[in-house]
Amino acid sequence: MSRMEITETPLTLVSLTESAAAKIRDLMAEEPEGEASVLRIAVQGGGCSGFQYALGFDRGAQEGDSELESHGVPVVVDPFSAPYLSGTEIDWVEGLQAGFAINNPNVSSACGCGHSFQVEEGDDAAAEHVGGCGSGCSH
């Protein structure tokens, strides 16, 4: 009897909306030549809910980074951050509080500011639970 292999379509690690990509391309163009070759998206410990996002420019990918392109913007994600960002979409929102909106399906709870978050802890969780949503939500 032969075994049937099941292949899942992998989620895109991170995607940008067209408006986010346009804003990022504008910001990259303002940086010195060679200093903003890629958008680096990362998850760092901290914030009032345990993790916070870090978006910035880098000269290029580093060993172990996941590399992708979204609407013409080269994006890199480090191996620690990748599991926490799988399926995340980044949008640019105009208005009084213009900024990047991050839609992360892995988030189990977030602080009111939207800049820090928690994920469900599994058997291989890398972070301890950090509770509360206190004054760590400053911008």
Structural domains in the chain (count): 1
Residue 135 lies in a domain: no
∠ Cα 61 62 63 (to 5°): 130
Task: Give me the pLDDT at residue 98, please.
Answer: 87
When pLDDT is averaged across residues 106-127 and rounded to a whole number, the result is: 58
Q: Does 128 score more than 50 pLDDT?
A: no
What is the CATH number for 108? 2.60.300.12
What is the value of pTM for the model shown?
Answer: 0.72
**For the segment 10-40, what is each residue's pLDDT rounded down to a tens digit?**
558 999 999 999 999 999 999 999 899 999 9
Query: CA 38 to CA 108: how far, in whole Å?
Result: 29
Amino acid 119 reads V
Residue 137 lies in a domain: no
Task: At 77, list the tokens.
Answer: 């994600």
Range of the domain at 80: 14-122
Report the range of poorest mean pLDDT among 12-21, 79-88, 107-116, 128-137. 128-137
Residue 133 lies in a domain: no
Residue 102 lies in a domain: yes
User: Radius of gyration over alpha carbons of the chain, in Å?
Assistant: 17
Task: Give me the pLDDT at residue 97, please.
Answer: 84
Q: Which residue has the tokens 């469900």?
A: 120
